[in-house]
Structure 1
Amino acid sequence: MTPHRPIPPLATYRRLVADAHRLVPGLLGLAVLVASWMSVSGAVGVRSSWPTPALAALALAAGLAAWHTRVRRWPLYAVAGLAWIALAMWPALLVASYHAGTRQRDRRRLGAYLLWVCLVMGLSVPVGVAAGGYRYLTTVAPANFLMTCLLLVVLPLVVGLWVAARRETLTALRDRADQLEREQRARAEQVRAQERNRIAREMHDVVAHRVSLMVLHAGALEVRSTDAETVETAALIRSTGREALANLRDVLGVLRSGWVAGASLTPQPALVDLDRLLDESRDAGVAVTRHDEGTARALPPTLEHAVYRVAQEALTNVHRYARDVVTDVHLRYLPDGVELCVRNAAPGGTVETRAGAGLGLVGLRERVELLDGRLDAGPEPDGGFTVRARFPYPERVELA
């Protein structure tokens, strides 16, 4: 069996069609040149007694006029009329009639072309009568004259009009298809916007209300309690809850705006915010130590944000499952990339298992892999837990 050949992509076909379309004028000019020479030599027309250089010059002029007809049509009309009246050279007249049908959309211009053709055909009659012989028989005899008008003027003109009408129909259909596609995209965007608004309302109803109550109760506990440690803990809960509400409002704004380009959004955290994140963990009772290794360098904002999110998720897991344990955060600038390692010691008590455990790391791994990085997370032999993310440097570092 003959193996199947791979089908070229659509872009290849379009390029081939465009290349062929550019070759059409040259091929048309060459065809008119050859057919004109065959016409005056008697192969497919009336043989002429003019000198060979004059015949070659007129055939060349007809070919050049046909090649140049996309830019200007009047040279082709002039050469076609002169060639038919003088020598009964028909190729240029045939091409001129076809182009008149495809290009002359105005009725007045089309009527002017028909009057010009009638003038040319009328002037050729006395010239044919004077020439006599074979030319009189083929171009002046009534039956042959009518057949010549039909084949050289009427038929190519009708074909040109049909081609022009077909082009207009295809253009209208293409425009309608583009309009329907735009309307479909607009409806899809409207549906997405409605769904984002619905999700935003649900998030606000389900989450914001509960967090607000938590903040209110923490504020009341801060005011009423007499224990200094309780007051400090309540203040921390209240400030954390307020920050969570602010983050929730940012998320709702993103859902409603749909990441519109140029939308006013809160700047995403970067490495400069890492110390503030560690201070929040220390305030919550986690002994966190930061270690920087290597020579610091400027990183793209997207990469800095990903490193920050890895540290945030790792510390969140420490708060949930290990509580007040010693935790080390290592930020390493390597020759080929940047690495963040968060390791906590083994928890003292029993680790509480909660629903949804590990889902945060799944989303974190997807975020890291989007930047061609690698995330490793798992327990250590001594009972601790390590989250290690490594990102390669981009080829072109975008300065923050």
Structure 2
Amino acid sequence: MAVTRRRTAAELVLALVVALVTAGIKDLVGTKALLVAVTAAGAAALTLLRRRLPTLVLIVTGATAGLVAGFSPLLVLVAWSAGRRIVGAGRALAAFTIAYVLFVSISVLDAWKEQMPLTLALLTTLYFFAAAVVPGLASRYWSQRRTLLHALQERNAQLLWERQMVAGQARLLERQRIAQDMHDSLGHQLALISVHAGALEVDPELTARQREGVGVLRTASVAAMHELREVVGILRDGVEAPTALVDDPSRAARGTAGIEGLVEAARAAGNTVTLRSRGTPRPLAAAADHAAYRIVQESLTNAFKHASGAPITVELRYEPDSLVVEIVSTAATKGVGDAVSGGQGLTGLRERARLVGGMVHAGSVDGGGFRVAGVLPYGVVEATPFVAVEDDFHQQAPKPVGGDGFPVMDWSVQTKAPLMSGRDGTVLSRGRAGGIGLGCGISLVALLLLVIAAAVGVFFLANTMNEGMINPSEYEQAKLGDDEEAVRDQLPSGDTVATLGLAGKGPREPEGSRCLVLRSSEVGGSIESEPVFRFCFKDGKLIEKKAYDIGG
């Protein structure tokens, strides 16, 4: 909506500018105010319609530009717009050809009475080539180049996305293979331990203390089987299945409700652990609930390992949209660095939190302590296993790009380069630089062509000035009654642009006569007037010659 409004405003401003320029040019040639207003309104209307009806507007502008001097800037704008918007090279060629024929024909017919159609046709052809053909070709080439680059970008994006899909499928298959191996080997062994421990627990020959120890062993084996099932689910599907916890009778013991038990166990081992809870407790999804338990468990294990006996604070903050789990060891830790529990615990916590839509941060705090904080959402967030190959655990799921329809992966620099998507990479910089260079080149060629056309026109005009100019002595030599053919042989033909606009501006011509108007080689006494000579012929004789001044 905002883009549409900006485009509409820009179009209105452009139409206003073109109307003002057209009105200014029209006013310079001395036209009535009403005709100036009508011409400006027509230029504005054609400017607004050039996008919707490029072919029609080009033809209409080409036809009227030969009559209306103010339409010259409009012709350049319309030709640029038509060059990129007319579909099909044949249709574009036909539209420009029709506009050219109308432009030249109307211009020549308008000046037919000046008796120099060939000269005017040449000049109008040069002008149409510079003002319409060159902008149209430049616009069409630029538009086709943009279309080609966009198609290449979409193709590269599609190929890279397919490559990511293939890599993700390969990782998923490998995870499933590992999960199957773990299930077949460890699951079988744990099941045997649980069965034998259960049978041993009811053995009447055991003492009460031995039964208690066997019961602990059986409980641990059952818990290990449940945890193995969750790990297998993560490896197999890429997400932690909630059903693994729903069917588990010890779910509460391994969620946020079991954190208090972890704290009590730590205190029983001789550690100083403080548990605080803020906010109104809210239920979490099964996977997120278990992730909170694992964050606290791993953090306490890390604190026991690297700072045994140091005061530890465990805090649960129930924010409006997420649960924040924070564990702080207030004493200096030793050898912790960026890893928890042997270097793999922190990675596991981050991956577990990512799979439920959360995150985990760990690092040193002021005073030499260590802090682990996790943010877990209350709701269920669907995760995807298809992440970037180069960074399997630290990237989020792909998000769609507006307009292209292709997902944007958070790829590495090596992957981004061939995409040429261009928002942050060097490829776009090169593309922009190339586009600017191309535009400058086209503009330079167009300017060079205009200069050449102007030079040719000036040279042609200078060479034909003699055909429309005489000096006063030549005027005096012609006598009334002289033969028309003899007089014309002594005078220039007048078929030149130098005599444009001279006919009809002097005294009334004799009835039935044919008159030749030529400029004087001498400069007049005022810059506002110019001396001219007129010779009128009838019945093969020179019947009148006059010298007078016309306005500049």
With normalisation by structure 2, the TM-score equals: 0.46
Match of 1:190, SS?
helix
Whether 1:301 aligns to 2:284 is yes
C-alpha distance 263-171 of structure 1, shift in aligned 2 (>3 A): farther
Whether 1:240 aligns to 2:240 is no
Root-mean-square deviation (CA), in Å?
Answer: 5.7
- Equivalent position of 1:36 in the other structure: 22
- Equivalent position of 2:99 in the other structure: 117
- Match for residue 51 of structure 2 among 70, 87, 96: 70
Whether 1:257 aligns to 2:237 is yes
Q: What letter matches 1:32 in structure 2?
A: V
What runs of 5+ residues in structure 2 fail to find an aligned partner? 306-311, 329-339, 381-552
Structure-to-structure mapping, 1:5-44, within 5 angstroms? 25=11, 28-29=14-15, 32-33=18-19, 35-37=21-23, 39-40=25-26
- The answer as to whether partners of 1:61 and 1:79 remain within 8 angstroms in 2 is no
What runs of 5+ residues in structure 1 fail to find an aligned partner? 1-14, 321-328, 343-356, 377-386
Q: What letter matches 2:47 in structure 1?
A: A
Structure-to-structure mapping, 1:118-137, within 5 angstroms? 120-121=102-103, 124-125=106-107, 127-129=109-111, 132=114
Deviation track 1:56-110 (CA, whole Å, cap 9, x = no partner) reads: 4413532453255335547844762563243243222232222222111145743
- Equivalent position of 1:100 in the other structure: 82
Structure 2: how far apart are the matches of 1:57 and 1:28? 18
- Match for residue 61 of structure 1 among 35, 42, 54: 42
C-alpha distance 107-140 of structure 1, shift in aligned 2 (>3 A): same
Deviation, 1:169, is 0.9
- Equivalent position of 2:257 in the other structure: 272
C-alpha distance 272-191 of structure 1, shift in aligned 2 (>3 A): same
Which has the greater radius of gyration? 2
Deviation, 1:166, is 1.1
Deviation, 1:177, is 1.8
The share of aligned pairs that are identical, in percent, is: 22
C-alpha distance 333-185 of structure 1, shift in aligned 2 (>3 A): closer
C-alpha distance 263-315 of structure 1, shift in aligned 2 (>3 A): closer
Structure 2: how far apart are the matches of 1:156 and 1:65? 17
- The answer as to whether partners of 1:62 and 1:79 remain within 8 angstroms in 2 is no
- The answer as to whether partners of 2:277 and 2:316 remain within 8 angstroms in 1 is yes
Structure 2: how far apart are the matches of 1:102 and 1:334? 60
Between 1:362-371 and 1:83-92, the stretch displaced more is 362-371
- Equivalent position of 1:185 in the other structure: 164
Structure-to-structure mapping, 1:1-400, within 5 angstroms? 25=11, 28-29=14-15, 32-33=18-19, 35-37=21-23, 39-40=25-26, 47=29, 49-63=30-44, 65-67=46-48, 69-71=50-52, 73=54, 76-77=57-58, 80-81=61-62, 83-88=64-69, 89-106=71-88, 109-110=91-92, 113-114=95-96, 116-117=98-99, 120-121=102-103, 124-125=106-107, 127-129=109-111, 132=114, 141-204=120-183, 207-222=186-201, 224=203, 226-229=205-208, 230-259=210-239, 266=245, 269-273=254-258, 297-299=280-282, 301=284, 305=290, 308-309=293-294, 312=297, 359=342, 363=346
Deviation, 1:340, is 9.1
- The answer as to whether partners of 1:86 and 1:127 remain within 8 angstroms in 2 is no
- The answer as to whether partners of 1:270 and 1:304 remain within 8 angstroms in 2 is yes
Deviation, 1:252, is 1.0
Deviation, 1:145, is 3.1
- The answer as to whether partners of 1:101 and 1:161 remain within 8 angstroms in 2 is yes
Deviation track 1:7-64 (CA, whole Å, cap 9, x = no partner) reads: xxxxxxxx9x99998886467546634553465456xxxx4x4214422441353245
Structure 2: how far apart are the matches of 1:219 and 1:29? 89
- The answer as to whether partners of 1:102 and 1:160 remain within 8 angstroms in 2 is yes
Q: What letter matches 1:100 in structure 2?
A: A
Between 1:31-40 and 1:168-177, the stretch displaced more is 31-40
Match of 1:242, SS?
helix
User: How many residues in Structure 1 have an aligned counterpart in Structure 2?
Assistant: 340
Larger fraction in helix: 1
Q: What letter matches 1:243 in structure 2?
A: A
- Equivalent position of 1:349 in the other structure: none
Structure 2: how far apart are the matches of 1:205 and 1:39? 89
Match of 2:201, SS?
helix
Q: What letter matches 1:128 in structure 2?
A: D
Deviation track 1:98-136 (CA, whole Å, cap 9, x = no partner) reads: 222211114574366246425632651464225749xx7
Structure 1: how far apart are the matches of 2:318 and 2:237? 39
C-alpha distance 375-98 of structure 1, shift in aligned 2 (>3 A): closer
- The answer as to whether partners of 2:83 and 2:136 remain within 8 angstroms in 1 is yes
Match of 1:301, SS?
coil
